[in-house]
Amino acid sequence: MIQRALYPLCLALITFAILIATIVHWQHSQAQGLPVNAASADLQIRKWASATEVASGDSLLYTIVVRNLGPATAQALVIRDLLPPGIRYRGIFHVEILNGSSGSFDFIGGRMSASFATLDAGGFITITLHTQVSDHSAEQLINTAGVTATNDLLLVNNLTTATVWRRSAPVATNTPPPTVQPRVPISTPLLFTKRAHPNPARLDEPLLYTIVVTNHSPVSATQVIIRDELPTAVRLTGTSTILVENGLGQALTLGRRALTGTVQSLQPQGIITMVVRVQVLDTLATADLVNIANLTATSGSNLIHHTVRITTAVVDEAPVSTPTPAAIFLPVVTHHQD
């Protein structure tokens, strides 16, 4: 109860710290006779959860994406995140930095703090936190994260919130349950999603496709295969990755115009995350990018098949400050806490 009572206060302190940092930098710029936008950066932060509805004991991934919209390199970045009461950090996180310096990561008492020296214009920082829902969590779980930098003066996109609802346990009754014969589930309910970031995409700039598969069934799914067909107007850049939590035997193979991720077994509450890095080609991107991904899996004698199709617009000008949210899970640096 004390932790829940202190949560709104801690949230207010994070917001207040962001405001104070901005005011101090603005006064410093004015004292030196510089315009407010001289050598300024514009940091944008977004946060998503791997599910919108959870039950006690479920695994939950929170992903934070910070992007520098420019025009200058952001200096002395600090990303803060306060987990809501009832959400337990499992001691595992993943960080990827694109066009920025390495940083440090601290997690104490449900509060995360990540510091980075610089982030170039157009650069990304992605942090994925592995958490678990406890039996004492509230019905509505609100998670807020914020970012600051010494030369970021725009506050409208420095805070982000992800809301998750907890399903209540069924009410116990004295009526005995009817006697039924156990039966094998018809299919394993695998949640299959794909998103692109940024959306719209820009010519000759990086584009990230992220595919997430979550097993919400009480039984394992086997021979899980994800095949991602790439649009003709993009080419692979950097390293594509696959991360599996509560699963075995993962592999990622590259074909001529497709990537295929395979997992031998995905346990209940298991999560597969596949990230594909591409670049939009100026000479071929004459229309929107259409991307199709297919999922197949086996549960007993049943075959599961899902298809997801997303369309990404392509522009040749600077992106707007509030693009369509997209969940990004980038498994690059892994940390385990004993």
**Look-up of token digits 């025009």:** 71
pTM check: above 0.85:
no
Same fold for the domain at 2-166 and the one at 190-317?
Answer: yes
Identify which of 42, 120, 125, 12 has the alpha carbon closest to the alpha carbon of residue 79. Answer: 125
For the chain, the domains span 2-166, 190-317
- The full DSSP string for 56-76 is TT-EEEEEEEEEE--SSPEEE
Within 10 A of 115 (CB to CB), how many other CB atoms are there? 13
Within 10 A of 128 (CB to CB), how many other CB atoms are there? 25
Q: Quick check: helix, strand or coil at residue 289? A: strand
Within 10 A of 76 (CB to CB), how many other CB atoms are there? 15
Separation CA 144–CA 56 (nearest Å) = 21
Task: Report whether 93 contacts 131 (CB < 8 A).
Answer: no
pLDDT per position in the chain (338 positions), as tens? Answer: 545 555 566 556 656 665 555 555 555 544 444 444 557 899 999 888 877 888 888 888 888 889 898 899 999 999 999 888 888 888 777 787 888 888 888 888 888 999 999 999 888 888 888 888 887 777 888 899 999 999 998 778 899 888 888 876 544 445 454 444 333 343 447 888 888 877 788 787 778 788 888 887 788 889 999 999 988 888 887 677 887 878 888 888 888 788 899 999 988 878 888 888 888 887 666 678 899 999 999 876 678 888 988 898 888 765 444 443 333 333 333 333 44
Over residues 78-112, the pLDDT tens digits come to 999 988 888 888 877 778 788 888 888 888 888 89
* CATH code 2.40.50.140 for 2-166: no
Specify the fold of 190-317.
Immunoglobulin-like (2.60.40)
Cα–Cα distances (Å) from 234 to 278, 291, 315, 335, in that order, read 6, 10, 14, 32
Paired residues of 304 in beta bridges: 297
Tokens standing for 104?
A: 């440090």
**Look-up of token digits 């692979």:** 236
Separation CA 38–CA 34 (nearest Å) = 7
